[in-house]
Structure 1
Amino acid sequence: MNDLKIAALVPMRHHSQRVRNKNFRDLAGKPLFHYIIETLAACPEIDRIVVNTDSQPIQEDLAAHYPQVTVLVRPPELCADDIPMNDILLYDTEHVPADLYLQTHSTNPLLKSSTVSKAIHEFLDKKDAYDSLFSVTRLQTRLWDRFTQPINHDPEVLLQTQDLPPVYEENSCIYIFTADNLRARHNRIGRKPLMFETPVEEALDIDEESDFLIADLLMKNRLRS
């Protein structure tokens, strides 16, 4: 199908600001970060999985359970909380050659391998027209800005929410890009990006303690069924 080499990049910090130890905290029976590694490993399109981390426990766990994963030890200058993700991706792409890069997060445990594979295929089918891909969640609800101005609806016309024109939230589940575009724009999203809609039930990103609890319940339900 494709002779391009694809590397999956997964940044993982040891320190977490809002959910303590979230990357290696137990979720539905195993460390949170195991889910995304296993999801990516199940995608035949991906040639290499790369974890950029400053965490010794994560490095040791990867060596024990996923020796096929390439570990990049994050240098101290990239460890601060305010370092942009694009700087970390620039570091990764300098050290791991590939034709395409797919970036996701350990905080997306509900993301399925079939969805990742679908995103790759969709981008490859349309790569002559687009220079990158990012995943989104469709929203069909009444949205307002901070000045109480309607964003996607006319308050004088009370449409059913399912009839509203959709807007899309960047959900941070999947990004696909080339090193050249990343360097040129210092951004993983290019000038001609393709939006890829992911199922709502897979798009949960663990950012707060409540997100972790919800993801734990959803994963336990998925495993039971």
Structure 2
Amino acid sequence: MINIIAIITARGGSKGVLRKNVRDLNGKPLIAYTIEAAKKCKWINSVVVTTEDEEIKAVSRMYGAVIVDRPNELATDHALSRDVVIHALEVIEKKALPEYFVLMQPTSPLRTSDHLDEFISKFLTSGSASGISVVQCEHHPYKVLVDQEGIFQPIKGWNFMEQPRQVMPKAYRPNGAMYILSPKDFRMFERFYVEPVYLFPMETEVSIDIDSELDLLIAQQILKRANKY
């Protein structure tokens, strides 16, 4: 059996949605959806939540997660996920490092254990060094303008600005729901994207990332309609 752990990063000082990781979503704290999905996944042996927040710690323990006490300097607005995971692995290493870890953000409540099972299964047979979940871009990047010293230029060219999306290649972006790689590769490169990268496309609806009160309302309606929780 491959040893795989889930690492969930959850700090207390959210800005867009106050206390969002423990906000109620259809009768459960937001973070509970991610912990439960990880615990139900057939591949994941342990679920770790790294946080500095006492309420998040209590809620996470209640749903069966192991806590890594995150230093306050890694819980600021400017702290990088990379540094948070480096610290978490240092703590986990005192017992034993897993063969792989899955990084999961608690603000993706519609990612389920079924998604995790399929994602990990396909990654393990892909021959890839890392894997990420993605969603098709809502707006095609070829139609994006960038500021180059005060002059706005299209990324690809002005001719693409008028092309219908249907004739352009499909474009995807990370949705933040799931990443997987080995601690060894992560420490070597200090990033979550290590080539070759396996991409796991997810539907737009289940890729919602709770970053505003509107996102929370949308997720609530989706869950009610699905009647899955």
TM-score by length of 1: 0.89
Task: Please say if 1:149 is aligned against 2:149.
Answer: no
Provide the C-alpha distance between the structure 2 equivalents of 1:120 and 1:192, rounded to a whole number of angstroms. Answer: 15
Task: Give the deviation of 1:122 after TM superposition.
Answer: 0.8
Which residue of the partner structure matches residue 216 of structure 1?
220
Q: Residue in 2 aligned with 1:99?
A: 99
Alignment equivalent of 1:86, drawn from 68, 82, 87:
82
Deviations 1:76-117 (A, max 9, x none): 231221111000111112222211000111100011211111
In structure 2, the partner of 1:198 is 202
- Indicate the residue corresponding to 1:70 in structure 2: 66
Q: CA deviation at 1:155?
A: 4.1
Query: Paired residue for 1:168?
Result: 172
Give the AA of the match of 1:31.
P
CA distance in 1, matches of 2:39, 2:45: 9
Give the deviation of 1:191 after TM superposition: 3.0
Equivalent position amino acid for 2:9 in 1: P
- Which stretch shifts more, 194-203 or 142-151? 142-151
How far apart are residue 140 of structure 1 and its match? 6.9
Contact 2:22 2:59 (C-alpha < 8 Å) held by counterparts: no
Shift of 1:156: 8.4
Contact 2:49 2:60 in 1 (8 A): no
Residue aligning to 1:53: 51
| Gap change, CA 1:101 and 1:152, over 3 Å in 2 | farther
In structure 1, the gaps of 5 or more residues are none
Between stretches 99-108 and 192-201, larger displacement belongs to 192-201
Residue pair 1:152, 1:167 contacting (<8 A) in 2 also: no
Q: CA deviation at 1:66?
A: 2.3
Please report how far the alpha carbon of residue 154 of structure 1 lies from its aligned counterpart in structure 2 after TM superposition. Answer: 4.4
TM-score by length of 2: 0.87
For the pair 1:111 / 2:111, whether they are aligned, the reply is: yes
- Per-residue CA deviation, residues 19-55 of structure 1 (Å, 9 max, x unaligned), is 1010111111211111111111111110010000111
Q: Residues 36 and 154 of structure 1: is their aligned pair in 2 closer, same or farther, counting only changes over 3 Å? A: same
The answer for the alignment partner of 2:149 in structure 1 is none
Using the TM superposition, give the Cα deviation of residue 152 of structure 1 relative to its aligned residue in structure 2, in angstroms.
8.8
How many pairs were matched up? 218
Cα distance between partner residues in 2 of 1:77 and 1:157: 46
> Partner letter of residue 19 of structure 2?
N
Among the aligned pairs, what percent are the same residue? 28
Q: Pairwise CA RMSD of aligned residues?
A: 2.1
- Structure 2 CA distance, aligned partners of 1:202 and 1:186? 28
Residues 58/148 of structure 1: CA separation in 2 closer, same or farther (3 Å cut): same
> How far apart in 1 are the matches of 2:228 and 2:130?
36
Instruction: Please state how far the C-alpha of 1:176 moved relative to its aligned partner.
Output: 0.2
Letter of the 2:33 partner, please give it. Y
